[in-house]
Structure 1
Amino acid sequence: MELRALFWTAGVAFFIAVIIGPLFIPVLRRLKFGQAIRSEGPQGHQKKAGTPTMGGTIFLVALTITAIQFSDRSPQLWMVLLVTLGFGLVGFVDDYIKVIMKRNLGLRARQKLLGQLIVSAAFFLALYWQGFDFSVSIPFTDIKWHLGIFYSAFLLLVLIAATNAVNLTDGLDGLAAGTSAIAFGTYAGIAAIWTSQFDVAIFCAAMAGALLGFLVFNAHPAKVFMGDTGSLALGGGLAAAAVLTKTELMLVVIGFVFVVETLSVLIQVFSFQTFGKRVFKMSPLHHHFELSGWSEWRVVLTFWAAGLICSMVALSTYMK
């Protein structure tokens, strides 16, 4: 597969996102889809209140148009789109409840989990019908675990962990979008060069390009936020790409920034509930650095750099 096709796909997705962004953002503003800012968050974020959210629709539209146009429309494409758009729909409903119905917590935990379970079950059934290999490869080794029917539980864990990790990372302008673009670009290379999955590579390239286009409006100071519509879709898409390329555990390395963000929350909660003390000034981790005096741009650029390094480490294992 020619890498030129991936760059062309990413370029078209970027162009579409840049074109439709100025069309979508005023509509979101007129519909009063403004972001509510948590009062317990950094005080500097209060000025962001009212910034249009649900902007994940911008890169999801660009992704869908481009991926369908440039792919072979194989079952793999429809599966990865199913997961991405399915989780995006769960996020859209969550955003809608928060913004329109003025219920700040959005979907209840059980409702959100039910939506995630439905999408995950549909993905598992699609994999089963395609005769998918329900084994898991251990990174940096030749070991494989054959899980059989237990792969369904593992799949659910990967999907929910990835979606929630990206969701937690989406707390600063451009942070989740930029880090995700790096991860999807990495998976485009893995799918194209090492696993020869044309449609998965096209999907990942389209998503990376669409996210870079979205960053034109989401970089600091953001004109629009992706909302749960975007962050849940990104987590689902990354997890689906990892599953289809049989690199489920390598996602921990490629998405290590997301992992660290999630761990910071878990550590903070455990420490406070157990010892009554906080390890970080605030979690997720990006807020800790903000409250330590780092500018928002410095935090974002540092996390992008960390994501790039992690992706390079992951890619290096395939170059041997």
Structure 2
Amino acid sequence: MEGIILFGFGIALIMTIALMPVFIPLLKRMKFGQSIREEGPESHMKKTGTPTMGGLVFLISIIVTVLLVAAFNGELTTPVVILLMVLFGYGLIGFLDDFIKVVLKRNLGLTSLQKLLAQIVIAVLSFFLLRANGFDTALGIPFTEASIELGWVYVLFIVFWLVGFSNAVNLTDGLDGLVAGTASIAFIAFGILAMIQEQTGIALFTFAVAGGLIGFLVFNKYPAKVFMGDTGSLALGGALAMVSILLKQELLLLLIGLVFVIETASVILQVGSFKLRKKRIFKMSPIHHHFELSGWSEWKVVTVFWGVGFISAAIALLLEVM
């Protein structure tokens, strides 16, 4: 099993590193440059025009790697197909959003309703595919043998989980290398759990995603030569949520993906505080911008958040396997 997983990791890593130098100049020629929101930190305005939609490269690398390696080794199972469907589907939503922003010059991209409906459709389709294959609809309680049977209510949980975490990762994608690093850590953590459960196909998928992200990080670390865009961040969040569901470690994602939870909570608290009290809690949300405006360098914010992601994932793994 380990050989298949490491092979998938290596192929996705090499493909991404090999394709990116071809893809970045192409994005520049097509003028697919990032538009920076005026309400963001002033220091980010220098990033205007940096090629975006780089998520396409690692998504292609991941999908091709998983399809070929899984098929060759007899691991193209229903869970793997569902993971690829979610990765591709949410990536497509992100691509359309990026395309509207970059090509049609409409900075907000898809409307919130359009994006939400598309995310819900993919989540519901995933639920029915799982039910058709006799998937357990009980919600596991981390660090215990206990679970809560949800039955058909589980579809609502899947919708909430996929939509919630796809948007959480999207919110986190505001600094060079932040999501590429934190998501790599989270996928590797779940990959280790998949290996413990002897679910080779899921482990192959998670390590292929990590390989693609680490390859992308070579070009996305500060100062970034390319951004992943919504194409990458929405796909990563949706896939991460689905991995936690397939491994019956749904709620453990709250700890393994703690950085994404904190980023989302900071936005909710900021908006709620301003509406109720007309006062802001943070200098700017998501919270990574608060630290920037407090005088931290972008690289310091990113590395500290990576550290938080690593520690929370390590704690989750230790508690789960004890």
Question: Does the alignment reach a TM-score above 0.5?
Answer: yes
Contact persistence 1:6–1:188 (CA under 8 A): no
Give percent identity, aligned residues only.
Answer: 52
The amino acid of 2:315's aligned partner reads V
State the match for 1:63 in structure 2.
62
Within a 5 Å distance, the mapping from 1:66-145 to structure 2 comes to 66-71=65-70, 72-145=75-148
Contact persistence 1:187–1:241 (CA under 8 A): yes
State the match for 1:217 in structure 2.
219
Alpha-carbon distance between aligned partners in 2 of 1:69 and 1:198, rounded to the nearest angstrom: 14
Q: What is the deviation of 1:65?
A: 1.4
Contact persistence 1:173–1:222 (CA under 8 A): yes
Q: Secondary structure at the match of 1:136?
A: strand
Alpha-carbon distance between aligned partners in 1 of 2:79 and 2:145, rounded to the nearest angstrom: 25
State the match for 1:266 in structure 2.
268
Q: What is the deviation of 1:272?
A: 0.7
Q: What is the deviation of 1:8?
A: 2.8
Give a deviation string over 1:216-263, Cα, whole Å, max 9, x none: 110000010000000000001101101100011000010000000000
Q: What is the deviation of 1:102?
A: 1.1
* Unpaired segments ≥5 residues, structure 2: none
Q: Secondary structure at the match of 2:321?
A: coil
State the match for 2:13 in structure 1.
14
Q: Secondary structure at the match of 1:145?
A: strand
The amino acid of 1:123's aligned partner reads S
Alpha-carbon distance between aligned partners in 2 of 1:101 and 1:183, rounded to the nearest angstrom: 34
Q: What is the deviation of 1:141?
A: 2.4
Q: Secondary structure at the match of 1:51?
A: coil
Task: Give TM-score, length-normalised by structure 2.
Answer: 0.97
What number of residue pairs does the alignment pair up? 318
The amino acid of 1:305's aligned partner reads G
Alpha-carbon distance between aligned partners in 1 of 2:164 and 2:120, rounded to the nearest angstrom: 12
The amino acid of 2:245's aligned partner reads V
Contact persistence 2:182–2:306 (CA under 8 A): yes
Q: Secondary structure at the match of 2:139?
A: strand
Q: Secondary structure at the match of 1:318?
A: helix
State the match for 2:35 in structure 1.
36
Give a deviation string over 1:78-131, Cα, whole Å, max 9, x none: 110001110000010011111111111110111101110111121111101111
The amino acid of 1:22's aligned partner reads P
State the match for 2:205 in structure 1.
203
Alpha-carbon distance between aligned partners in 2 of 1:174 and 1:30, rounded to the nearest angstrom: 23
Q: CA RMSD in A?
A: 0.9
The amino acid of 2:262's aligned partner reads V
Q: Secondary structure at the match of 1:317?
A: helix
1:294 to 270, 283, 296: 296
Q: What is the deviation of 1:282?
A: 0.4
* Unpaired segments ≥5 residues, structure 1: none
